[in-house]
Homo-oligomer: A and B are copies of this chain.
């Protein structure tokens, strides 16, 4: 007996390099050639990609490897600045992964028992949960969303908007700044990443600061904590965070040079179309013709 499992072309659909929409609700063209997302990306012009800005990129060095986070400076500029200041104060050196809760978040920072100087960073940063619509790219998705009037992509990030403004959405691999009660309770010194179904109820309730663009699997496979909310109960269970550094502070030879597909590009529009309307034989029963914002994330590649 041979069972193919979920075919290649299928399995790409929900993974880290899945995508979303530029052309609102364009009807599927049955004559369109079936191109895989990889084929679309392989044919893309270099100008449809942008390099990560090292000043907006942080490297989180775990014993198991490097996790790379792009900071969303258009959405959380003050948190991004504070995270840079904390990194430059070596604040995260020998910090820990504090929590791993299944289908929810992995969270890291310093243990209360092991504090450290904040350096030039501030203890509290005002919440940055909604920004004005003007002044930021927005490429809409055409399909309805459960939690917002409109969803789409903005400079590589998954976002939503309504008349009041635009905000980032809690999708897989998106990073937020933990807080207590009150929007202004965090400072970027404790961060979490979504490792399961998008907890969109947190949108506009917690400041999101960026997304993991490489190394997500190092976080998502952390053993779940046995305490309430997935917190680890003893320091011995906590993975050690060697450091968090701003990429621009790391010698060029030790950097990881990545590019993100521009979400205002024609390539992105094609990727979204291919993800939205499934023309592969595997989807003969149902070509879908829908795409959720958290099912689309901008592809990332090593700089050629």
**Chain A residues proximal to chain B, CB less than 8 Å:** 1-8, 10-16, 98-99, 101-105, 107, 109-110, 112, 115, 118, 123, 127, 129, 143-147, 171-173, 178-183, 185-187, 189-190, 192, 195-206, 216-217, 220-224, 228-231, 275, 278, 281-286, 288, 290-292, 294-295
A197 in complex: contacting residue of B14, B99, B181, B201, CB < 8 Å: B14
Please give 9 more A-B residue pairs, beta carbons under 8 A apart, in addition to A2-B112, A144-B146.
A3-B189, A3-B190, A5-B98, A5-B192, A11-B101, A200-B292, A203-B286, A205-B283, A220-B220
Compute how far the CA of A182 lies from the CA of B118 in the bound complex, rounded to whole angstroms.
Answer: 58
Specify which chain B residues have a CB less than 8 angstroms from the CB of A173 in the assembled complex: 103
The answer to whether B196 touches A14 (Cβ under 8 A) is yes
Q: How far is the CB of A287 from chain B (nearest CB, A)?
A: 9
If A103-B15, A172-B103, A221-B222 touch, whether A3 touches B290 (CB-CB below 8 Å) is no
Copies in the complex: 2
Main secondary structure of the interface of A (DSSP, over half): loop
Whether A107 pairs with B15 at a CB distance below 8 angstroms is no
* CB closest chain-B residue, reference A231: B5
Q: Check if B103 sits within 8 Å of A6, measured CB to CB.
A: no
Q: Give the residue of B2, B129, B197, B206 whose beta carbon is less than 8 angstroms from that of A294.
A: B197
Q: Across chains A and B, which 7 residue pairs bring their CB atoms closest together, nearest first? A: A4-B180, A14-B199, A11-B229, A5-B178, A146-B292, A204-B286, A217-B224
Contacts of A275 in B (CB 8 A): 201
Q: What's the Cα separation between A278 and B206 when bound, in Å?
A: 14
Q: Are B182 and A284 in contact (CB under 8 A)?
A: yes
Q: Which residue of B lies closest to A3 (CB)?
A: B190
Q: How long is the Cα–Cα vector from A197 to B292 in the complex, in angstroms?
A: 10
Q: How far is the CA of A183 from the CA of B283 in the complex (A)?
A: 9
Which residue, of A173, A179, A187, has the highest number of chain B Cβ atoms within 10 A? A179
Q: Which residues of B contact A197 (CB under 8 A)?
A: 14, 171-172, 196-198, 292, 294-295
Q: Which residues of B contact A110 (CB under 8 A)?
A: 1
Q: Given the complex, which residues of B lie within 8 Å of A146, measured CB to CB?
A: 143-146, 290-292
Closest-CB distance, A271 to chain B (whole angstroms): 14
